[in-house]
């Protein structure tokens, strides 16, 4: 048995709204508000519309200060960065863009931004393919004349030059201080705990200190990434420690990351103009791992959902045990979703 319809489908009008309907709805809400009940609203006004339809019309079109079209470059970047971070949680993304509705952003993403980014990726892939072919030819030529060396391990993945970290301050004006980052992460679905030790105990966590010397001012706070000691615990939880406060990314947030963009980012993030700050760290770690001889890196494959990849190094755990922190550049609070 299906769910009962929210209204009498036979007696409600569907399709585009007429100016008269708009005027009725707008003037009523401006005078009386919604009354806290959208379902009852259309009857009060005398509109033959579903309450949900009225709500949608108001929120997406009639509400004051709504902006339509004409997305700026900055808005593009914010949308892309948030999408890559949290996936298709349009209401959260819309909350970052005053005057924009979730529906608007969703449409904009589906019709333009996605194509724009994927189009770039295609070009990048093509260029990389050509580049790899060239390098492969060179390698084979040199193999003929001399004994080969370590390069054999990564014939198809020439080591990418590691780009210098890009300071946040130049890229993302919203994240200008500790408070704004914290606020932002909470918005994305994380939660802070007042008792950091509690989380350690409860989740049996190790602490992975981050080299704060690489953090550009004003991001001079100590950022720690905590990961489950035993990946098989299936905790699938990422915890950040910011100046003694813990932030936990919820599993459902982690899992919302779209696979297509994961590979896209790893392909060559430098080409996604203006968004480098999002994934510099990820790409650095992956290229490092490849250079270290990892044929196929799967640092998120359903075991641990670290923010940073576990550096794909067999020494990773050993270093932790010996109290020798792995250094990594703190570029952002990006979390990595579970592999599907």
Partner DNA sequence: AAATCAGCCAACCGCGAGGCT
Partner DNA sequence: GAGCCTCGCGGTTGGCTGATT
Locate 250 and state its tokens: 């919820």
Locate 43 and state its tokens: 């009857």
Q: How many Å is the maximal CA-CA distance in the chain? A: 87
Minimum distance from residue 165 beta carbon to DNA (Å) = 30
Closest to DNA by CB, 15 vs 323, is 15
C-alpha to C-alpha distance for 324 and 31, rounded to whole angstroms? 65
* Binding residue for DNA, selected from 111, 126, 148, 301, defined by CB under 7 A: 111
Minimum distance from residue 42 beta carbon to DNA (Å) = 10
Instruction: Using the structure block, give the residue that is written with the tokens 């108001």.
Output: 58
Alpha-carbon dihedral 15, 17, 18, 20, rounded to 10 degrees: 140
Closest to DNA by CB, 2 vs 323, is 2
Residues 222-281 that bind DNA (CB under 7 A): none
72 makes contact with DNA (CB under 7 A): no
Closest to DNA by CB, 25 vs 275, is 25
Minimum distance from residue 295 beta carbon to DNA (Å) = 33
DSSP letters of 157-198? -PPPPPPPPPPGGGT-TT--SHHHHHHHHHHTT-EEES-HHH
88 makes contact with DNA (CB under 7 A): yes
Closest to DNA by CB, 71 vs 219, is 71
C-alpha to C-alpha distance for 290 and 302, rounded to whole angstroms? 20
Closest to DNA by CB, 216 vs 255, is 255
Site string for DNA, 91-110 (x = CB under 7 A): xx---------xxx-xxx-x
Distance of alpha carbon 196 from the chain centroid: 25
* Binding residue for DNA, selected from 63, 112, 134, 174, defined by CB under 7 A: 112
Neighbours of 132 (CB within 10 A): 14
Minimum distance from residue 9 beta carbon to DNA (Å) = 7
C-alpha to C-alpha distance for 199 and 197, rounded to whole angstroms? 5
**Residue 127, H or E segment:** helix 114-145
Residues 15-54 that bind DNA (CB under 7 A): 15-17, 34, 36-40, 49-53
Q: Which residues contact DNA by CB under 7 A?
A: 2-4, 6, 9, 13-17, 34, 36-40, 49-53, 55-57, 60-61, 68-69, 88-92, 102-104, 106-108, 110-112, 115
């Amino acid at each position: 048995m299906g769910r009962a319809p929210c209204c009498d489908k036979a007696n409600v009008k569907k399709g585009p709204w007429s100016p008269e309907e708009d005027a009725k709805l707008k003037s009523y809400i401006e005078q009386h508000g919604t009354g806290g009940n959208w379902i009852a609203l259309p009857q009060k006004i005398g509109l033959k519309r579903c309450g949900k339809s009225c709500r949608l019309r108001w929120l997406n079109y009639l509400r004051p200060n709504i902006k339509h079209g004409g997305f700026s470059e900055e808005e593009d970047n914010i949308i892309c960065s948030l999408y890559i971070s949290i996936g298709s949680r349009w209401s959260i993304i819309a909350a970052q863009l005053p005057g924009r509705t979730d529906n608007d952003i969703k449409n904009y993403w589906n019709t333009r931004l996605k194509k724009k980014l994927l189009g770039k990726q295609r070009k990048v892939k093509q260029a990389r393919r050509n580049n790899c072919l060239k390098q492969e030819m060179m390698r084979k030529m040199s193999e003929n004349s001399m004994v080969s060396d370590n390069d054999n391990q990564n014939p198809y993945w020439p080591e990418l030059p590691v780009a210098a970290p890009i300071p946040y301050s130049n890229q993302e004006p919203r994240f200008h201080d500790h408070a704004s980052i914290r606020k932002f992460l909470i918005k994305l679905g994380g939660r802070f705990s007042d008792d950091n030790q509690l989380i350690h105990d409860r989740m049996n966590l190790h602490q992975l200190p981050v080299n704060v010397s690489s953090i550009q001012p004003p991001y001079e706070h100590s950022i720690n990434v905590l990961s489950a000691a035993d990946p098989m615990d299936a905790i699938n939880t990422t915890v950040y420690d910011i100046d003694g406060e813990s932030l936990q990314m919820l599993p459902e947030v982690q899992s919302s990351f779209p696979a297509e963009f994961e590979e896209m980012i790893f392909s060559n993030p430098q080409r996604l103009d203006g968004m480098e700050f999002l994934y510099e760290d990820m790409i650095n770690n992956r290229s490092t791992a490849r250079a270290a001889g990892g044929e196929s890196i799967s640092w998120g494959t359903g075991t641990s959902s670290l923010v940073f990849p576990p550096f794909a190094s067999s020494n990773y755990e050993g270093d932790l045990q010996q109290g020798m922190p792995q250094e990594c550049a703190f570029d952002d609070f990006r979390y990595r979703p579970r592999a599907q």
